[in-house]
Amino acid sequence: MKTKTFKQGIHPKYNKDLTNSKPLEKANLPKEVTLYLDQHIGSPAKAIVEAGDKVKLGDKVGESTGFISANLHASISGEITAIEERRDSIVIKIKGSEGEQWQVDNPEKNLEDISAEEIREIIKEAGIVGLGGAAFPSHVKVSTDGKEVNQVILNGAECEPYLTVDHRTMLEQASEVIYGLKALMKSAGAKEGYIGVEVNKMDAINKLEEVSQKDSNINIIPLEVKYPQGGEKQLIKAILDKEVPSGGLPLDIGVVVNNVGTAVAVTEAINYGKPLIERGLTVTGAVNNPQNLIVRIGTPIRDLIEECGGFKGEPGKIILGGPMTGQAQSSLDVGVSKGTSGILVLSKDEIEDYKDPRPCIRCARCIDGCPAKLMPTALANLAKNDDVEGLEKYNVLDCIECGSCTYVCPANIDLLDWIRIGKAKVEAKRREN
Ligand code: SF4
Ligand code: SF4
């Protein structure tokens, strides 16, 4: 089979066989959820409830506070027990709920009967953000500000090791993925739609082709298995052979990219009036029964690890997301956010493989692997030396934080950590000016 890809990139161990044949299951309903007001990119939502208020499933509890912001909804029915100052969160505690689910039995709406403007408003009202991990408000992506959009691409690459929720979503909810793609195309005014899927998910490719066979403007594109194939710029290069300019956005070249899970959320918002109260994620690694679960937003990760049979052996690290781009957690009480695509447990033994950094041996593996064509070793040194001008000159803001450089470095240098520091320095300087 002919596959498409981008230049450079790496081939980490994928470890997807723990869960890639496990169907999506609804997780047990949590007794309490923690909803963060700042769980999306942009300005945090503002709480519109108070402690003691009763809320029903789907009620709006946080309102967006700007163009780049997102509404927040109650993911369970219950009573608001606190509006915590720390991390700007709302905690909703359930009381005597009979465990209701969102009703999803309405007939599918004909997209010809809904305007682009109405679709954008539905997406905004439902608080939908990118479910691939970035959590960028989705209504913003399709508000094109007069710019012409030619293509909408759905990211079904799921190149991050261990994670399989997108794979299962494409396989089990292919019709919803295709409907959501058409809705996003209409809202952005795009004529063509693409779904890029790595060829380690052939069953999903076949299913999507079957469901979209009558849609001549939708193309399912098999992609080489390579990391970070699902990066926006890498996906666009692979599928359309177009480059997003340095410092630019896909919209600058007439492209909008969304995750396949986001497309399903859009479908459910249009057809069932369902806000983003739950999402699919993979619980995997050192747990006794790894699974793909549909989880209410705000569910404590402790509950989900228990539902998956608890820790297998002694846990060393718990990561929200995958091993390349995820964030390590220090507490099991943290709630699942809209951007949480996985919970990965690494055992103590796996963590002990980590060795202290040594001096750079100038092997250039980090440069060869960088999909953004950067010089990670130079950027890390510029960040260490506080050289903001140099960081700008070497385009540090083009780093997509994929972690490939750190992964391949034989000297165990935390390149990405330094590069993140460098990016923060450049952004701080730009804010000052
Ligand atoms: S410099 Fe950034 S984009 Fe390049 S490999 Fe490292 S993390 Fe990825
Ligand atoms: S991969 Fe590591 S050791 Fe090799 S050049 Fe880059 S920073 Fe140096």
Q: What is the pLDDT of residues 312-329, one digit of tens each?
A: 999 999 999 999 999 899
- Nearest atom, ligand 1, residue 398 CA: 3
**Which residues 6+ apart lie within 8 Å of 366 measured at CB?**
375, 376, 377, 404, 405, 406, 408, 409, 415
User: pLDDT class for 88, splitting at 50, 70, 90?
Assistant: low
CA atoms within 13 A on the CB side of 71: 22
Residue with tokens 């959590």: 135
Q: State the pairing for strand pair 255-259/151-156.
A: parallel
Summarised one tens digit per residue, pLDDT across range 151-192 is 999 999 999 999 999 999 999 999 999 999 999 999 999 999
Least distant ligand from the CA of 376: 1
Q: What pTM, to 2 d.p., does this model score?
A: 0.94
Q: In this model, does residue 16 exceed pLDDT 90? A: yes
CA of 30 from ligand 2 middle (Å) equals 45
pLDDT value, residue 147: 87
Sign of the four-CA dihedral 387, 392, 393, 395: positive
Among all bound ligands, the one having the nearest atom to the CA of 227 is 1
pLDDT attached to residue 133 = 79
Report angle CA 338, 343, 347 to the nearest 5 degrees: 160
413 lines ligand 1 (CB under 6 A): no
**Predicted confidence band at 235 (pLDDT cuts at 50, 70, 90)?**
very high
- Residue 39: pLDDT band by 50, 70, 90 thresholds? confident
User: How high is the pLDDT of residue 136?
Assistant: 93
Query: What is the C-alpha to C-alpha distance for residues 403 and 377, in angstroms, rounded to an integer?
Result: 13
Report pLDDT for 93: 75
- The answer to whether residue 87 scores a pLDDT higher than 70 is no
Q: What is the whole-number distance in angstroms between the Cα of residue 373 and the centre of ligand 1?
A: 8
Minimum-distance ligand to the CA of 369?
1
- The residues pairing with 92 across neighbouring beta strands, listed in sequence order, are 33, 80
Question: Atom 3 of ligand 1 has which residue's CA nearest to it?
Answer: 399
User: Percent of the chain at pLDDT above 90?
Assistant: 83
Residue type, 279: R
Residue 419 corresponds to which tokens in the numbers above? 């590069």
Q: Which of 364, 429, 381, 374 is nearest to 402 (CA)?
A: 374
Nearest CA to ligand 1 atom 4: 370
Mutate to test the pocket of ligand 2, among 360, 374, 375, 419 (most ligand atoms within 8 A of CB): 360
Residue 312 CA to ligand 1 centre (angstroms): 32
Instruction: Give the C-alpha separation, 230 to 159, whole Å.
Output: 6
225 or 355, which is more confident: 225
Q: Check pLDDT > 80 for residue 3.
A: yes
User: Which residue has its alpha carbon closest to ligand 2 atom 3?
Assistant: 360
Q: Is the CB of 244 under 6 A from ligand 2?
A: no
Confidence of residue 86 (pLDDT cuts 50, 70, 90): low
Mean pLDDT of the chain: 93
Is residue 353 predicted with pLDDT exceeding 80?
no
Measured from the CA of 415, which atom of ligand 2 is nearest? 7
What's the rounded mean pLDDT across residues 204-215?
Answer: 97
Question: 24-102+277-350 — its CATH code?
Answer: 3.10.20.600
Residue nearest to atom 2 of ligand 2 (CA): 409
284 vs 169: CA distance, rounded Å? 16
Atom of ligand 1 nearest to the CA of 366: 5
**CA pseudo-torsion sign 258, 260, 261, 266:** positive
Domain ranges of the chain: 24-102+277-350, 111-272, 365-432
The answer on pLDDT for 96 being more than 80 is no
* Cα-to-centroid distance, 4 and ligand 1 (Å): 21
pLDDT of residue 91: 81
> Which ligand places an atom closest to the C-alpha of 414?
2
For the CA of 376, the nearest atom of ligand 1: 1
Phi-psi region of 298 (alpha: psi -120 to 50; beta: other; left: phi over 0): left
pLDDT at 356 over 90: no
Distance 377 CA to ligand 1 centre (A): 10
Question: Which ligand 2 atom lies nearest to the CA of residue 380?
Answer: 7
The set of residues, in sequence order, having a beta carbon less than 8 Å from that of 131 and lying 6+ positions away, is 259, 261, 262, 265, 279, 280, 338, 339, 341
364 lines ligand 2 (CB under 6 A): yes
As a whole number, mean pLDDT of residues 412-432 equals 92
51 lines ligand 2 (CB under 6 A): no
Residue 139 · residue 123 · CB < 8 Å: yes
pLDDT of 152 reads 98
Ligand 1 centre and the CA of 228: distance in Å?
10
Give the residue, 184 or 103, on which the prediction is more confident: 184
- Provide the token pair at 204: 């999903």
In angstroms, the CA 193 to CA 231 distance is 17
Q: What fold is seen in the domain 111-272?
A: Rossmann fold (3.40.50)
Question: What is the number of alpha carbons within 13 Å of residue 59 lying toward its C-beta?
Answer: 15
Helix then strand count (H, E) for the chain reads 14, 17
pLDDT at 243 over 80: yes
